[in-house]
Amino acid sequence: MQSSCSSEIAGEKGFRRCSWLLRSLPGLSSACPVLEFAADFPPTGQRSVICVTSVIGHLFQLEFDGRLPQQLAQIYEAPVVKTFTDSARKARVADHLQELAQGSSQLCLWLDADREGENIGFEVIAVCKEWFPDNSNVHRAIFSALTREEVAASFKALGRPDMAVAQGVDARQELDLRVGISFSTLLTRQLKDTRLGSVQRGVTRSITYGPCQTPALGFCVQRQRDIDSFQPQKLWTSQVELRHRQGGSLKLVWKEGRTDNEKQAAAMKQTFLRNRVARVKSSSSSSEVLHRPTGLNTVQLLRSASNALNLGPKQAMKVAEDLYSAGIISYPRTETTRYHETFDAEASLRPLSRHPALGRAAVRALGAWRSLAGKAQSYRARDVGDHPPIVPLRVAASEELRSGAAKRLYDFVCRHFLASWLGDVQLERREACFSIGDFDFEVVLRRLPRDRGWLQAMPWRIDELCLEDGTKRLDCLEQLVNQGTADISNWNLEESWTAPPLPLTEAELVDLMDRNGIGTDASIPQHIQTIQDRGYVQLCDGSGAPIEVMKVGAFGRKRGRPSQRPKAPGRYLVPTERGMALVRGLSHLDASLCEPEVRALIERECAMVARAELLQAEVLKRNVDLFRGKFQHVQHSIHELRTFFQAPGGSRQRNARLKGEANRKNRSRRQKRFASEA
């Protein structure tokens, strides 16, 4: 665990109130503080002196034993060994743990309750193997929040570490090492002297391939291909404005939406010129339910952070982890969106009732939770058996949220949690269809009820969903329907051109990677950051201007010179020439290298290893053989790949305007507007 987490577990949120003494002790590693207290240890049933310390991430990294083979294809058979990471070696973490192990009779692991945490736990066991040789006195605590209740419950229900879970991580690490080193070394050696392979300012020297990062880049390149191959088409859209006798008016849109048939558009214009009255064709009233959101998982958090909070995935994850370490929110890495039947929502809702801005919504959510309807969760929620959804644990003081990013993310987590427990919204839906000659025009209005349910916590969604907050337009529609006919006060027939799709946003890429099984909820942010660091994509705003990515400190505080504000909203990942050349070249040789299916299969098989459904050796052999064949094919055809990196640039500068009138003008697209008033 991190040092801040160890302090939380031993301190006020852990065992301070049930222990004889809590004191700080010196240790060999200044990065890993030691706290000592006395308490009953459940496995032995005896009062014991307990020392709590921490690690700083993985202790070991996987490396090749010795120098790389001269023949790169031999990398797939070369022996690998685990060595201490640079950070663990500098901080003397292993010596620190061994010193504590010498005087201990039991080892209890409080690492994060996910695959990476389990793998780090077995690294700790390996370091302390001399004093705990058979694992009979090694225990595992499973927890998802740094609250007193959660820590105490985990302490009373200690289990055993699961070797299969750790082996699933080991299998993925070894495959990534062999595949990444072999392909990246080949590409860097063979392409560094090409036009696109040479070192550019702000771009790393290496030309790398990764089983996750390259399929992620492939999604961005495929969208750019769609943009480049887009052929604009002329189309027409229309709307009319109807006025009733009392003076009110309402706009309606053509029921078919739009047409690319010029004759049909001309016929519609003649219909407008000949007809000054619209007749009611049909009308109806019904109810519509806006279902509350599910519990918040990691992918939803990353997607919303990019779309609404202007936070990149890596920055958002860093802020969420800091909030978790401070005991402000629960564990931020989870795929589950359904609260467990034993989840005590009141423990999180009651503190929020004292929140200065969200207190009223929290009181209503608490009432909904206590009712039968409140306990019935969204039908879309799912439980995949890992951590519970992300929830706030307490009201954070303003001085604890030390950056704008932390404040925005914490506020969103709180609002999403409240919305997931407030009631569904029952809308009044009113729609009508009017005919003008042979053309039908419709209007659909959805009115908010007095009880706004989950929209109380997310009021911005009212405008996004185009909901009616008053009765003015509904009353106008009712009068028009009762009249049977209505005067056409205005109409327009707009000629325009279809617009190309936009580059992928960060949020869209997160969603694509999640749906296609590329990476995990913990690794997706890093893969997106990697393709930016390698110079394969450029992060741009809605105007096409590059967004400067700064280093992020604790709680999302940015370090270095302040960056310019985006000229337009949006966070788009635009492929560079280098990124396009890499994907096009590899796809030319073996399309599967840039597609998600192979990586998704590896992720599934590693998950099966973690569930003890497959053997680690079996998965390694099958996938090593698969990628060895792919590597040898690329190696023999490297001259073909070089042609993609030598190609002239052409129209590679893709930071053009992304949207709106400027986009159409830059592409010389005419717009005409025909309007007439009756």
Residue 616 and residue 167 in contact, taking contact as beta carbons nearer than 8 Å: yes
Strands 485-497 and 277-290: antiparallel
Three-class SS state of 483: helix
The amino acid present at 360, given as its one-letter code, is R
Query: Is 572 one of the annotated active-site residues of the chain?
Result: no
Are 314 and 528 in contact by the 8 Å Cβ rule? The answer is yes
For residue 575 the two structure tokens come to 């492929």
Residue 596 CA to residue 228 CA, distance in Å, equals: 22
- Quote the tokens at residue 153: 């419950």
**What are φ and ψ of residue 160, in 5° steps?**
-120, 145
Left (φ > 0), alpha (ψ -120 to 50) or beta: where does 531 sit? alpha
Which two tokens mark 412? 């969103």
* Tokens encoding 331: 């564990």
Which 8-state DSSP code applies to residue 377?
A: -
Read off the tokens for 567: 């000229």
**Number of residues written out for the chain:** 678
Task: State the catalytic residue, choosing from 324, 331, 339, 536.
Answer: 331
* Strand ranges inside 205-328, DSSP E: 234-243, 249-259, 277-290
User: How buried is residue 24: exposed, middle or buried, by Cβ count under 10 Å (0-12/13-18/19+)?
Assistant: exposed
Distances, alpha carbon 581 to alpha carbons 539, 578, 586, in Å = 18, 5, 8
- Tokens standing for residue 54: 């921490």
Which residues are known to be catalytic? 331
